[in-house]
Amino acid sequence: MGGIVIDYPLYEARRQISMTVNDAMKRRLANMALLITGMIWGSGFVVMKNTLDSMSTNYILAIRFTIAALGLSYTLFTKGPVTFEKIKAGANLGLYIYGAFAVQTYGLMFTTAGKNALITAFYVVLVPLLLCSALLLQIFRLRMTADQQQNAQQWIMQKRRPEGKVWMAAVMMIIGIALLTTDGGGSINIGDVLTLCCSLGYAIQIVLVDGYAKKYDLMQLTCLQFWFSALYGWIAALLFEQPPVNMGGDTVFALAYCGIACTLIGLTLQNVGVKYASPEYATLFMSTESAFGCIFGVIFLHETMTARMLVGGLMVVAALMLSQVEWKDVFAKRKNRGVHNA
């Protein structure tokens, strides 16, 4: 009686190829999701700028996070039990994302949408620095990946710092932000200072998501994050602000757009993207929000950029590229391609 003969080495090779292809596809989809996130968030600067004329900051945040939380509430019942550890993780994430959104929105009251978008992009440089910081391990005690643990241990034991390009990008970013935020006389806008604080909150939140995503269901964690962000927003709104009186159709549309597109879709795509792409490369794609924010600000709000601000903006974009692109690999591939063609 004949049987089926399986070529196990060939089978294993095909299985490995299939896994590699699937991983590559996941990375491409993650990159696309993060790029869409950048575009959505870039448009959010324009929408938020207009909404601040008719509603206070914390009411805007409370409503938009409540809308987003309702949209994902099904995960609380379909993605396993909601444990105390998950609740703590959601509260932690919610605190940082709410804080970042709050200072960013307050800052938007005193600066332009384009500058707000560009300065926020400073978190791109902060993320790799935070990943290598011993302070992050001591404060948050995350269960990091093996590579992240190795980087942190090298920082502590060997005093090994991040790559030189990260430090160079940080210097370029600081100079670019200085050109964007100062008028040549050394003064700086309070809105720009608040936006800088926002970038730190975003950076911490991205690193936290990368750690928590290894332990908990991502969609459920995102839902908990939204609910806690909404809770913090409602508490601050009810304690410190007056409720809105007259909300026109434009305000309702803006709140719906910020809640559904910028928060529910944007942050969900961000968290999913961070899960399948490293946080360093995730920030590269999400940083396109600064470019989109400037473009949309010029088109829809008729904002102007001086030559000084343009140079600063270009330095910020150059710093983003420098810090995130593996230039050695790029040049090596081009060299190999040239040798192959020859």
**pLDDT of 234:** 96
- pLDDT by residue (tens digit) across 316-337? 778 777 766 665 655 555 556 5
- Total domains in the chain come to 1
Q: What is the mean pLDDT of residues 47-64?
A: 87
32 in a structural domain: no
Q: Which residues contact 255 (CB under 8 A, 6 or more apart)?
A: 51, 55, 60, 63, 64, 67
d(CA 131, CA 166): 12
What is the CB neighbour count within 10 angstroms for residue 20?
10
When pLDDT is cut at 50, 70 and 90, the band that residue 211 belongs to is: confident
334 in a structural domain: no
- The b/e string for 204-240 (b: 16+ C-beta within 10 A; e otherwise) is bbbbbbbbbbeebbbbbbbbbbbbbbbbbbbebbeee
DSSP string, 65-78: HHHHHHHHTTHHHH
Q: Determine the 3-state secondary structure of 182 from DSSP.
A: strand
31 in a structural domain: no
What residue numbers bound the domain in which 233 lies?
Answer: 43-325
233 in a structural domain: yes
162 in a structural domain: yes
Q: How far is CA 81 from CA 39, 78, 86, 153, 216, in A?
A: 34, 8, 9, 34, 11
Q: What is the pTM of this model?
A: 0.69
Q: How far is CA 305 from CA 68, 191, 337, in A?
A: 34, 17, 41
17 in a structural domain: no
d(CA 189, CA 176): 15
- pLDDT by residue (tens digit) across 69-121? 999 899 898 988 999 999 999 999 999 999 999 998 998 888 888 778 778 87
